[in-house]
């Protein structure tokens, strides 16, 4: 059920990610790359590499009832996370900025950048199409709605309007690629189209690994250790445990189950740290949650793969 991509082991993918993290961090520490280089790499990955990956895999989707369960899982996990985190934040006496980090970074995982690269290696090529559904109809829409609401409400800024949210979703390049892949692209791509798409989509992991290494921050004040532990353990352990139970409840199995659990087990989404930092909502804590979560996921993700 969870065979790895032919010729590419999960261990080799994790090894590549660790090397890319180290290289990216070294480039930034030595001042070899200019300020904002990580943002540039992320934009290229988001606007070029990710749409190519979606166009390669989405046309192979076969729509059936179980897909509704797959789409529902990240939204149910979001609701459960908020219900659990609200009292935890009170126990920790978290201020508004810390609460924003917990509420935004625990439910939202790196289901696109890392998920698209790791799910095929951990669960087989066929699982990637389901990872795309989980990401686009789950994580992305949650970020565009709930995520923006959390940032606005905790920072005191004006709440985003429905029109602004709709425009953000409709004009998002990966979402456009999803619509095109479902409606226009044939199920069997001709080699003249498939080969260029494979070349472009293959740049996703190197771009994201280097960018994450450039942004990696691990130093943190002692007062943030409690929220950091809650966010990392919640994201890497509690949330995927919930996904495991929901898969059983909805009868989700096979590659779809593997994709749902692995996507839910991905470390915190990098974009959340950027949005929280822009709103001046505990930027050090936000970056540390992404950094420590990413490093810890090198251990937790193989364990989840073994559980499958």
For residue 158, the model assigns a pLDDT of: 63
Q: How confident is the model at residue 10 (pLDDT cuts 50, 70, 90)?
A: low
- Is 299's pLDDT higher than 60? yes
Q: Mean pLDDT over residues 261-278, rounded?
A: 87
Task: Tell me the CB-side half-sphere exposure of residue 56, using CA atoms within 13 A.
Answer: 24
For residue 223, the model assigns a pLDDT of: 80
For residue 75, the model assigns a pLDDT of: 97
Spell out the residues 6+ positions from residue 58 whose beta carbon is closer than 8 angstroms to its own.
129, 132, 177, 178, 181, 182, 185
Three-point CA angle 205, 207, 209, nearest 5°: 65
pLDDT in tens, 118-159: 898 888 888 988 998 898 888 888 887 888 888 888 877 666
**Cβ atoms of residues 89 and 99 within 8 Å:** yes
- d(CA 258, CA 62) in angstroms, rounded, equals 17
Spell out the residues 6+ positions from residue 129 whose beta carbon is closer than 8 angstroms to its own.
57, 58, 60, 61
pTM: 0.80
User: 161: which 2 tokens?
Assistant: 């309007």
pLDDT in tens, 148-204: 888 888 877 666 677 777 777 777 787 888 888 878 888 788 888 889 998 998 888
What is the full DSSP assignment across 117-128? HHHHHHH-GGGH
- The least confident of 39-48, 58-67, 292-301 is 58-67
For residue 31, the model assigns a pLDDT of: 87
pLDDT in tens, 220-266: 777 888 999 999 999 999 999 999 999 999 989 999 999 999 999 99
- By CB atoms closer than 10 A (0-12, 13-18, 19+), residue 50 is buried
Closest CA to 270 of 109, 87, 134: 109
For residue 8, the model assigns a pLDDT of: 55
For residue 7, the model assigns a pLDDT of: 44
Q: What is the chain's percent helix, strand, coil content, to nearest 5?
A: 80, 0, 20
Spell out the residues 6+ positions from residue 183 whose beta carbon is closer than 8 angstroms to its own.
none
Greatest Cα pair distance in the chain: 58
For residue 5, the model assigns a pLDDT of: 42
- Is 2's pLDDT higher than 60? no
């Amino acid at each position: 059920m969870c065979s790895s991509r032919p010729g590419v082991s999960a261990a080799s993918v994790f090894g590549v990610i660790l090397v890319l993290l180290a290289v990216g961090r070294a480039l930034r520490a030595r001042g070899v790359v200019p300020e904002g280089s990580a943002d540039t790499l992320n934009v290229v990955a988001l606007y070029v590499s990710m749409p190519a990956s979606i166009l390669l895999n989405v046309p192979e989707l076969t729509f059936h009832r179980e897909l509704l369960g797959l789409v529902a899982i990240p939204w149910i996990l979001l609701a459960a996370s908020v219900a659990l985190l609200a009292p935890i934040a009170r126990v920790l006496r978290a201020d508004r900025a810390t609460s924003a980090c917990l509420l935004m970074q625990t439910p939202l995982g790196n289901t696109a950048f890392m998920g698209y690269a790791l799910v095929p290696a951990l669960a087989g090529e066929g699982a990637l199409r389901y990872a795309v559904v989980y990401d686009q109809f789950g994580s992305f829409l949650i970020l565009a709605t709930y995520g923006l609401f959390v940032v606005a409400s905790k920072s005191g800024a004006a709440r985003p309007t429905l029109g602004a949210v709709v425009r953000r979703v409709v004009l998002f390049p990966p979402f456009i690629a999803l619509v095109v892949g479902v409606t226009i692209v044939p199920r069997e791509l001709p080699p003249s189209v498939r080969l260029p798409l494979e070349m472009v989509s293959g740049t996703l992991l190197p771009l994201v690994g280097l960018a994450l290494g450039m942004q990696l921050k691990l130093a943190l004040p002692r007062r943030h250790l409690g929220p950091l532990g809650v966010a990392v353990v919640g994201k890497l352990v509690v949330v995927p445990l919930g996904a495991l139970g929901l898969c059983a409840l909805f009868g989700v199995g096979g590659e779809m189950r593997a994709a749902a659990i692995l996507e839910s087990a991905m470390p915190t989404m990098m974009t959340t740290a950027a949005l929280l930092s822009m709103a001046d909502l505990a930027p050090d804590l936000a970056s540390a949650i992404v950094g420590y979560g990413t490093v810890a996921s090198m251990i937790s993700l193989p364990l989840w793969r073994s559980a499958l």
